[in-house]
């Protein structure tokens, strides 16, 4: 049933001049960074002084926080918010350890919390909780909060983000959360240890285009194995990532509980276009691409190029991380983030080069990587929308809530942020807060960081089914059965530890017996409905 919003007499909002870091500041505080907001309505142009608005307290549930002392920050934040929109903020600093349990309990209990962090991977998963009626539809035709109070926010967000936030929810096809402008693109890359490559006689030109099936790729691994000895494994893989890199398959949002057996295939020439499979969700293990991949990977495993620990779920992650840090590999797998090669080179004390498998793309999972939703239990959804607009377009507020107080938690050195020891007391999760592109760069990032960031992430293409997420309600029994089968077979096959001629037919039969085709039929029916609602 559609949940109606309680309208209030709020005819105000803000026209905010969004700028990058280091702009002139008009705030009433000498420590301000960037620009400030006014009180001009974002949608209709009517203006009302903040003092004419009823005072409101907003509770906001954050994720990933490490905050032990927020007193000084909240004093400044709330002084500013009261000047702008007559709001007092009461943050709930959820941590990596407690958020999933406590936020869901809060939502299910109907707690008086206005705004929650949500995303494609948290326990209060964006799509499911939108379908179940926990999030306010922000572009509801009967009360369009974005149009009324946040049009300037929508103007600064890349279209791929606003498109990715548009889903099928309890109140129809629309937007149910504000997406965070962070590292939103996915780009799987070969992680190349160029220090070892040069020792083997290779140059940058030799690794510009790495083909998993080429003789040259195997020759590199063979030379490195011979030079490194029997205990050296040159191909350092995260098995499921390796398969996606080689086959151009991607995760289907809503399938994480089963190990991502469903796949949508990318067009490597242009990720915004369909492949010959069209817009269909497939069982990737039954495709020719997977059989070819599994055979090649098994060959590499048998040749001693892949560490057997990579096939053990209890050892794989720790072993891979340790060998990355010590540079004990030649070629690895990596999901890229801007600047990763510089960070990795510094940490590992080697030269790291990233070789992309595709251009960067935005899919549902990455576009929904960090979001803020207004709870349908909120008594003040309009003011909550005004606050989210201000937070995501006003660099002074975003900087203060993220980095703390200048002169206490950080200093500005030539316009760049340098943190003090007090930063240890106040460390919210930056990427979980919203539009990070309006923060001042840190000394570690450098002057050009945000320009480069926007050029990379802001121009990433969207996949054709952006926004689609599978709802497993109709097939929960089959999903559980399939998950058990996938857990038994997928990792060994994706790391080459078992012979695909023997294990793949066995795997496929068990998937059929577990009801995989029921799931695929349901998923594709939902996808067809989604694409029709989207206008495709």
Tally of CB atoms within 10 A around 535: 6
* CB neighbour burial string for 388-405, b if at least 16 within 10 angstroms, e if fewer: bbbbbbbbbbbbbbbbbb
The pLDDT assigned to 48 comes to: 61
Gap between the Cα atoms of 363 and 460, Å rounded: 10
CB 113 within 8 A of CB 136: no
CB 384 within 8 A of CB 85: no
The pLDDT assigned to 257 comes to: 63
Alpha helices in 109-184 (DSSP H): 126-131, 145-149, 151-156, 159-164
The model's pLDDT over 477-528, given as tens digits with 9 standing for 90+, comes to 999 999 999 999 999 999 999 999 999 999 999 999 999 999 999 999 999 9
Residues in the chain predicted with pLDDT less than 70, given as ranges, are 1-48, 256-259, 536
Residue 259 phi/psi, 5° resolution?
Answer: 80, 15
The pLDDT assigned to 254 comes to: 84
The CATH superfamily of 50-181+366-462 is Periplasmic binding protein-like II (3.40.190.10)
The pLDDT assigned to 25 comes to: 34
CB 319 within 8 A of CB 231: no
The pLDDT assigned to 535 comes to: 81
The model's pLDDT over 172-213, given as tens digits with 9 standing for 90+, comes to 999 999 999 999 999 999 999 999 999 999 999 999 999 999
The pLDDT assigned to 393 comes to: 98
Which residues on adjacent β-strands are paired with residue 143? 140
Alpha helices in 404-534 (DSSP H): 449-457, 476-494, 500-514, 516-534
The pLDDT assigned to 51 comes to: 72
**Looking at the chain, how many residues does it have?**
536
The pLDDT assigned to 385 comes to: 98
pTM of the model: 0.81
The pLDDT assigned to 14 comes to: 29
């Amino acid at each position: 049933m559609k949940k109606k919003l309680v309208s209030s007499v709020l005819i105000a909002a803000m026209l905010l001049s969004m700028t990058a870091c280091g702009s002139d500041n008009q705030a009433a505080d000498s420590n301000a960074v960037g620009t400030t907001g006014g009180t001009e309505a974002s949608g209709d142009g009517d203006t009302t002084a903040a003092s004419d608005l009823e005072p409101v307290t907003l509770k906001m549930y954050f994720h990933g926080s490490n905050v032990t002392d927020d007193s000084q920050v909240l004093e400044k934040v709330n002084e500013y918010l009261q000047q702008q929109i007559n709001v007092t903020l009461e943050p709930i600093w959820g941590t990596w350890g407690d958020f999933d349990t406590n936020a869901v309990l809060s939502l299910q209990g109907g707690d008086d919390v206005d705004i929650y962090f949500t995303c494609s991977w948290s326990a209060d998963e964006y799509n499911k909780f939108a379908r179940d009626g926990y999030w306010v539809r922000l572009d509801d035709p009967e009360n369009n909060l974005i149009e009324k109070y946040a049009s300037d926010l929508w103007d600064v967000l890349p279209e791929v983000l606003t498109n990715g936030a548009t889903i099928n929810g309890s109140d129809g096809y629309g937007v149910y959360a504000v997406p965070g402008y962070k590292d939103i693109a996915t780009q799987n890359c070969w992680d190349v240890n160029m220090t070892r490559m040069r020792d083997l006689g290779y140059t940058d030109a030799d690794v510009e285009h790495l083909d998993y099936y080429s003789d040259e790729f195997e020759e590199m691994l063979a030379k490195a194995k011979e030079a490194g000895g029997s205990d050296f494994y040159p191909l350092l893989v995260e098995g499921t990532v390796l398969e996606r890199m080689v086959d151009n398959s991607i995760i289907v949002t809503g399938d994480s509980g089963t190990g991502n057996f469903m796949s949508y295939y990318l067009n490597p020439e242009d990720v915004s276009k369909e492949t010959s499979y069209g817009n269909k969700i497939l069982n990737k293990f039954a495709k020719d691409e997977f059989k070819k991949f599994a055979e090649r990977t098994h060959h590499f495993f048998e040749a001693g190029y892949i560490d057997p620990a990579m096939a053990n779920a209890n050892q794989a992650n720790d072993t891979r991380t340790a060998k990355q840090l010590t540079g004990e590999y030649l070629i690895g797998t990596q999901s890229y983030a801007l600047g990763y090669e510089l960070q990795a080179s510094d940490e590992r004390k080697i030269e790291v080069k990233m070789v992309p498998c595709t251009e960067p793309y935005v899919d549902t999972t990455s576009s929904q990587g960090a979001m803020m939703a207004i709870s349908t239990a909120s008594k003040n959804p309009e003011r909550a929308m005004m606050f989210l607009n201000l937070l995501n377009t006003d660099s002074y507020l975003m900087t203060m809530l993220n980095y703390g107080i200048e002169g206490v938690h950080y200093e500005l050195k030539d316009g760049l942020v340098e943190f003090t020891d007090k930063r240890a007391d106040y460390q919210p999760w930056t990427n979980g807060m919203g539009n990070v592109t309006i923060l001042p760069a840190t000394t570690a990032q450098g002057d050009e960081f945000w320009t480069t960031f926007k050029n990379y992430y802001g121009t990433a293409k969207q996949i054709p089914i952006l926004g689609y997420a599978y709802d497993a309600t109709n097939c929960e029994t089959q999903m559980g059965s399939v998950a058990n089968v996938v857990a038994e077979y997928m990792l060994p096959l994706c790391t080459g530890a078992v012979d695909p001629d023997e294990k793949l037919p066995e795997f496929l039969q068990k998937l059929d017996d577990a009801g995989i085709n029921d799931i695929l039929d349901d998923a594709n029916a939902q996808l067809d409905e989604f694409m029709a609602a989207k206008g495709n």
